[in-house]
Amino acid sequence: MTQTVLVFLDRALPDGRIEDAAKPQLFATDLGATRGDGVFETLLVLDGHVRKLPAHLSRMQHSAQVLELEVPGHEAWERAIVTALDEYQRVVGPLTEVVVKLVATRGVEGVHEATCWVAASAPAPAAKRQREEGIDVLLLDRGYDSDVAERAPWLLLGAKTLSYAVNMAALRHAHAHGADDVIFTSSDGQVLEGPTSTVLLAHADTDDAGHVTLKRLVTPRLDSGILPGTSQGALFAAAKEAGWELGYGPLEPEDLFDAEAVWLISSVRLLTPVNRIDGKAVGTDPALARALTEELSALFDKIA
């Protein structure tokens, strides 16, 4: 069982309150447990450095605002993260690769105060394996069209909430059918996102000698009801600086099969190549796909 360090944010303790993750800590009436009413972020620590911390904290504040949930400010989270990582280093080991989860629920029913904590643990072994070997995915209909986020903001589609039951059900469906992950599509046929990741694809033009003359990185439209990915945003900035062209959808499933390479990207798995979609191989030139993956991975590794 993976050892987890748990730190609760506490008004009386500015640096947070360390608790035993192996013992019950949450009230049974907490609305995060009973209704999934809350927000979260998952960060990766590599060699002691918390990657993309400002972007994650900003997205968490945005998600909380969408839910009309009052959560502590950036400084309180930062102090609790430091406490959690110090404790992790003391009781578990070096901060070579650590997953840090920030969680805020609406709290105990009737109390009107958020329950907030930081949890630090080692990543699942599958994360590294999948980013190295790639994954097979299924296309699954999410059941609504690509304009629903604007038409029905109460669905909270742009917020990272605790209500992940549908996402987990989609992953179980994929596993039961021999796949590793899912790419959701809208009912009007647009590519959306993965249950826990953002979709990226690349196009490359080559000259007669086989040299790449143009590289274009594309992701689905951000206004199509998907969660804006902190990793996608950071990689786009790095790729633009390195000379890549950038594009946003709309994307259809056919675009995935026409691409030189497709990836799912997230804070923990990083840049994960997609090998097959619905059993069909992605890309026609494996060597080119590997080269594009290596170049983007190198750019992503340099992101703060």
Rounded to an integer, the average pLDDT of 43-62 is 96
Nearest Cα residue to 303 out of 203, 230, 217, 215: 230
Assigned token pair, 214: 């143009």
User: Domain end: 108, 123, 138, which one?
Assistant: 123
Residue 295 banded pLDDT, cuts 50, 70, 90: very high
| Cis ω before 250 (30° cut-off from 0) | yes
Residues 75, 199 share a domain: no
Residues 151 and 227 in one domain: yes
> In this predicted model, what pLDDT tens digit does every residue of 60-90 receive, in sequence order?
999 999 999 999 999 999 999 999 999 999 9
Residues 158 and 245 placed together within one structural domain of the fold: yes
Residue that finishes a domain, picked among 123, 157, 188: 123
Cα separation, 243 vs 256, whole angstroms: 22
Whether 84 and 120 have beta carbons less than 8 Å apart is answered as yes
**What's 268-286 look like in SS3?**
CCEEEEEEEECCEECCCCH
Length of the chain: 304
For residue 281, the model assigns a pLDDT of 96
Instruction: State how far Cα 229 lies from the chain centre.
Output: 6
pLDDT tens digits, 150-166: 899 989 988 999 999 99
Mean pLDDT of 28-51: 96
Average pLDDT value for the chain: 94
8 Å CB contact between 30 and 107: yes
User: β-pairing, 135-141 with 181-185?
Assistant: parallel
| CATH code, domain carrying 222 | 3.20.10.10
- Within 10 Å of residue 77's Cβ, how many Cβ atoms? 23
pLDDT digit string (tens) for 206-229? 777 767 778 999 999 988 889 999
The sign of the CA dihedral 47, 49, 51, 57 is: positive
Say yes or no: 107 and 160 in one domain: no
pLDDT tens-digit series, residues 100-138: 999 999 999 999 899 999 999 999 888 889 999 999 999
Single-letter amino acid, residue 209: A
Return the structure tokens found at 295.
């170049």
- Shared-domain flag, residues 172 and 110: no
Q: 10: exposed, middle or buried (C-beta count within 10 Å: 0-12, 13-18, 19+)?
A: middle
1 — pLDDT class (breaks 50, 70, 90): low
Which residues are CB-contacts of 224 (< 8 A; sequence separation ≥ 6)?
146, 147, 149, 186, 190, 192, 249, 250
d(CA 52, CA 58): 10
Same domain, 184 and 236: yes
52 and 194 together in one domain: no
Number of compact structural domains in the chain: 2
Query: Token digits for 283?
Result: 């890309």
Are both 276 and 138 inside the same structural domain? yes
117 and 133 housed in the same domain: no
pLDDT of amino acid 303? 83
**What is the C-alpha separation between 88 and 21, in angstroms, rounded?**
12
For tokens 């742009």, the residue is 158
Can you give the residue range of the structural domain that contains 257?
128-301
Distance, CA of 152 to CA of 134 (rounded, Å)? 35
The residues pairing with 264 across neighbouring beta strands, listed in sequence order, are: 199, 272
Q: What is the pLDDT of residue 205?
A: 84
Task: Give the domain-ending residue among 107, 123, 139.
Answer: 123
Indicate whether 229 and 260 sit together in one domain: yes
* Same domain, yes or no: 118 and 157: no
CATH code of 118's domain: 3.30.470.10
Are 183 and 191 in contact by the 8 Å Cβ rule? The answer is yes
CA-closest candidate to residue 236, choices 204, 199, 269, 205: 199
User: What pLDDT, on the 0 to 100 scale, is given for residue 191?
Assistant: 97
Residues 56 and 150 in one domain: no
List strands edge to edge, sheet with 38-46.
13-20, 5-10, 115-121, 97-105, 38-46, 49-50
